[in-house]
Amino acid sequence: MTKKKAEQPTESSQAAVVLEKPESQLKEMWESLSEDKAAITGLVVITFLALLAIFGPLIMPYDPNFSDMTKSFVQPGAEHWFGTDQLGRDIFSRIIAGTRISLTVGLSAVAISLTVGVVLGSIAGYSGGKTDTIIMRFMDMMLAIPSILLAIAFMAALGKGIDKAVIAIGLVSIPEYARIVRGCILSVKENDYVQAARVIGNKNSRIIFKHILPNVLSSIVVRATLGISTAVLDTAALGFLGLGVQPPAAEWGDMLGRARGFIFTAPYTLIFPGIAITLTVLAFNLLGDGLRDALDPKFRKN
Amino acid sequence: MSEVLVEVKNLAKYFNLESDFFGRPTSVLKAVDDVSFSIHKGEAFGLVGESGCGKTTIGKMLVNLYTPTRGEIVFEGTDLTKLSEEKRRGFCKDIQLIFQDPYASLNPRMTVGDIIAEPIKINKLLPSNEIEKRVTYLLNCVGLANHQRNRYPHEFSGGQRQRVGIARALAVQPKLIVCDEPVSALDVSIQAQVLNLLDELKEEFGLTYLFIAHGLNVVKHISDRVGVMYLGKLVEIAPKKELYSNPLHPYTQALLSAIPFIGPTKSKQRIILTGDVPSPINPPEGCRFCSRCFKKTDACDGYIPELREVSPGHFVSCRLYDET
């Protein structure tokens, strides 16, 4: 009897748990993500970098642009943690300063190409026919030119400066997103559940946003996280060519490029910016992988 | 017989496979060619035929997934083919579809409860506070438990998923449900359960079915009348009993002879058709079946048979039954 009594509450509470209003998609995603150690590591690093980008100037030991030629190529040590570069600037301070530029460029370039690419790819993939042909042939034309060359061409038209670099890098990677989104939509579009959405009376726009895009989101998210790292590297390349970041502003790729002549004499001038880039790219990739799993109910843990 | 719910007149669907430089079609697939039939309120009309004969295409035209090339679909007096996209969408709540593959027909990112609630929300059939209750009711109707509503489709078995699909179709309280081979993806024990469920729901909600299948035994179980299709054409329509006891068209006879037969009595003569179904891109002139017909005579060449009523309610499209 007592046993029965003891059992009953658990049963009802279990039922209550099951019947509970489902947590919102976001909360479920977060729960799944928080169990993924790699993704959390990535998220922690990204958060750290973001904080560094915001509050960097407060913790910089030196002015990142202050040049003291008497102290060029100082070995890493107590005074200069990461050493100094050929112009005697503190590398640690410059890396912190570079965080802001790299993250801003990465995120905003990806935001541009993602928005335009998803819209164009969705239209092309969903409507098909002539619209598809026109949009995709235009994308092919852009893809036919090497991306860095195209970015240089855009920069030549837009002018110098980091904001122009963002736009150029963003525009250049539109075709990649458009292609990926179109391909995914083509494969998802033929699914019965998309037809089912039509049968129950959905409008085209709702079918795209509610039934198709959520099912291609994972590939887009993964591509976008990789895109951030590509954007960081592209900025570096443009900076190296004197088109992106204008000296003396600190930017990791630019630092790498300028220090490449001292790889044997002062390797630390390359190693630290390199580590910063690698760490950022790795963090975004780890987060991207975790997000892919968290976004798909099938891969969600428990 | 009760009144007609939907009447299909000379319905045709052609797919252009290739076109020349000016966009004129050079190769046309005639999936459905000049098909007419009507479905009465409260009946289950079976549509059988082998793969590629156009039965699913007819179903998809009824639910607005395909636009007919020609012909009319008259639903309760309104010709659906002449309506604007907006108005046509309004009929979605009257005609629903149950899909063949329960694994593909449910959005993997929506919970079962959301899937069933969606048609109600889109068509604005109920105020939002009553949707919850309605979903619970629908889940019970199809034999699922209410606590399963927050699960995702991949957590269900094939039979359960098909029940979700049925609940989604029922959600808008349709008058006609097109069942597109709803059990052919399920294993046999589950097939019977789902068929019985469909039967019960038909009684309970006063539904009308267009039941598409390639298995004659499945159709026999559920239909009142049966139409037999071959290569985009209807070759025979008859009440179920009449069709199974007295098939007239040679193709129907061949189909029926292919049903496996278990019993001590000597088995029926099996009619084995030779050759393959001709391509619907270049169907035979005249009678579509003449290239494989075992009763073909010289007179059949170039003869275009029409669907004619040979006895009350029994239509057949074959030269053998035309008065000449």
Are residues A198 and B97, on separate chains, in Cβ contact within 8 Å? no
Beta bridge partners of B236: B228, B316
Q: Which residues of B are less than 8 Å from A201 in CB distance?
A: 89-90, 92-93, 119, 122-123, 172
Give the closest-approach CA distance of A294 to chain B in angstroms.
11
Residue B97 has pLDDT above 60, yes or no: yes
Instruction: Establish if A214 touches chain B: CB-CB under 8 angstroms.
Output: yes
The span from the CA of A301 to the CA of A39, in Å, is 13
Residue B44's H or E segment, with its range, is strand B44-48
| Residues of chain A numbered 280-299 and touching chain B (CB < 8 Å) | 296-298
Residue B170: name the closest of B130, B123, B132, B205 by CA. B205
Residue at A264 is within a domain: yes
For this complex, say whether ipTM is above 0.85.
Answer: no
Q: Residue B61 CA to chain centroid, in angstroms?
A: 10
pLDDT at B266 (0 to 100): 61
Is B195 inside any structural domain? yes
| pLDDT interval class at B267 (50, 70, 90) | low
**Does residue A46 lie in a domain region?**
yes
Q: Which of B22, B56, B112, B118 to mutate to test the interface with A (most CBs of A within 10 A)?
A: B118
Reported confidence tier of residue B265, pLDDT bands at 50, 70, 90: low
**Substitution target from B92, B107, B136 for chain A, most A beta carbons within 10 A:** B107
**pLDDT the model gives residue B228:** 93
**pLDDT digits 0-9 by tens, B75-91:** 998 899 888 888 888 88
**Residue B84, domain CATH:** 3.40.50.300
Token representation of residue A92: 């640690």
Tell me whether A3 touches chain B (CB under 8 Å).
Answer: no
In the structure, what pLDDT confidence band is assigned to residue B1 with cuts at 50, 70 and 90?
Answer: low
Asked whether the predicted pLDDT for residue B29 surpasses 60, the reply is: yes
**Facing residue for A19 by CB, picked from B63, B101, B147:** B147
Nearest Cα of chain A lies from the Cα of B64 at a distance, in angstroms, of 7
pLDDT at position A13? 40
In a domain, A220, yes or no: yes
Say yes or no for a CB contact (<8 Å) between A199 and B122: no
Report the residue of B83, B97, B109 to disrupt the A interface, i.e. the one with the largest count of A CBs within 10 Å: B109
**Which CATH number characterizes residue A180's domain?**
1.10.3720.10
In angstroms, what separates the C-alpha of B95 from chain A's closest C-alpha? 8
Cβ of B97 within 8 Å of Cβ of A22? The answer is: no
What residue type is A44 in one-letter code? V
Q: Is the pLDDT of residue B297 over 80?
A: yes
Q: Which residues pair with B25 in a beta bridge?
A: B19
Q: How many domains does chain A have?
A: 1
Distance from CA of A142 to the nearest CA of B (A): 26
Q: Chain B contacts of A206, Cβ < 8 Å?
A: 122
A–B interface: beta-carbon pairs under 8 A: 75
In a domain, B87, yes or no: yes
Does the residue B113 lie in any domain? no
A171 touches chain B (CB under 8 A): no
- The answer, yes or no, to whether residue B168 has pLDDT greater than 70, is yes
pLDDT for position A5: 39
B70 found inside a domain: yes
Which member of B89, B152, B154 has the closest CB to residue A201? Answer: B89
**What pLDDT is recorded for position B174?**
92
pLDDT digits (tens, 9 = 90+) for B142-156: 999 998 888 889 889
- Sign for the CA dihedral angle at B209, B215, B218, B223 comes to positive
* pLDDT at residue A18, as a whole number: 43
- Domain membership flag for residue A81: no
Option in A192, A203, A206 nearest B104 (CB) = A192
Domain that holds residue B47: 4-94+174-236
Q: Is residue A19 part of a domain?
A: no
- The whole-model pTM stands at 0.77
**Nearest residue on chain A to B59, alpha-carbon basis:** A199
CA distance B128 to A171: 43
Mean confidence (pLDDT) of chain A:
82
In a domain, B183, yes or no: yes
Contact assignment for A199 to B63 by CB distance below 8 Å: yes
Residue A146 contacts B where some CB pair is shorter than 8 Å = no
Judged by CB atoms closer than 8 Å, whether chains meet at A196 and B123 is answered as no
> What would the mean pLDDT of B29-41 be, rounded to a whole number?
91
CB-based contact, B97 to chain A, within 8 Å: yes
Q: What is the pLDDT of residue A29?
A: 77
Whether residues B109 and A215 touch (CB distance < 8 A) is answered with: yes
Domain of residue A255: give its range. Answer: 27-57+90-295
Judged by CB atoms closer than 8 Å, whether chains meet at B96 and A206 is answered as: no
Stretch 185-204 of chain A: residues touching chain B, C-beta under 8 Å: 191-193, 195-203
For residue A211, the chain B residues in CB contact (below 8 A) are 107
Which pairs with CB-CB distance under 8 Å and at least 24 residues apart come from A38-41?
A: A38/A286, A38/A289, A38/A290, A39/A286, A39/A287, A39/A289, A39/A290, A39/A291, A39/A293, A39/A294, A40/A290, A41/A283, A41/A286
- Among B90, B105, B147, beta carbon nearest to A196: B105
User: By percentage, how much of chain B surpasses pLDDT 90?
Assistant: 40
Chain A residues lying within 8 Å of B132, measured CB to CB: none
Give the integer Cα–Cα distance in Å for A99 and A52. Answer: 7
CB contact under 8 A, A215 and B108: yes
Q: Total domain count for chain B?
A: 1
The terminus-to-terminus CA distance of chain B in angstroms comes to 31
Contacting residues of B for A195, CB less than 8 Å apart:
60, 65, 99, 105
pLDDT at A104: 87
Confidence tier at B112 by pLDDT (50, 70, 90): very high
Minimum mean pLDDT range among B100-104, B242-246, B263-267: B263-267
**Which 3 state secondary structure label does DSSP give A279?**
helix
Task: Please give the C-alpha separations between residue B3 and each of B43, B44, B174, in angstroms, as whole numbers.
Answer: 10, 14, 17
Render pLDDT for B231-257 as a digit per residue (tens, 0 to 9): 889 999 999 999 988 999 999 988 888
The answer to whether residue B285 sits within a structural domain is no
- pLDDT by 10s per residue, chain A, length 302: 344 433 333 334 444 344 444 456 677 778 878 888 888 999 999 999 999 989 988 888 888 888 888 888 878 887 888 888 888 888 899 989 888 888 888 889 999 999 999 999 999 999 888 999 999 999 999 999 888 888 888 888 888 778 888 899 999 999 999 999 999 999 888 888 999 998 888 888 889 888 998 888 878 887 888 788 778 778 877 877 767 777 778 888 778 878 888 888 888 888 898 898 888 888 888 888 888 778 777 766 54
pLDDT band at B298 (very low <50, low <70, confident <90, very high): confident
Q: Is a pLDDT exceeding 90 seen at residue B7?
A: yes
Q: What is the pLDDT of residue A301?
A: 54
- With 0-12 / 13-18 / 19 or more C-beta atoms within 10 angstroms meaning exposed / middle / buried, residue B275 is exposed
In A, minimum Cα distance to B96 occurs at A199
Query: Does B101 contact A at CB distance below 8 Å?
Result: yes
Q: Determine, yes or no, domain membership for A14.
A: no
Q: Stretch B293-299: mean pLDDT, rounded?
A: 84
Q: Mark yes or no for CB contact A200/B92 under 8 Å.
A: yes
Closest-CA distance, A169 to chain B, in angstroms, reads 33
C-beta atoms of A203 and B89 within 8 A: yes
Q: Is B147 on the interface with A (CB under 8 A)?
A: yes
User: By CA distance, what is B168's nearest residue in A?
Assistant: A200
Mean pLDDT of chain B: 88
- CB–CB of A284/A46 below 8 Å? yes
Q: Is residue A173 part of a domain?
A: yes
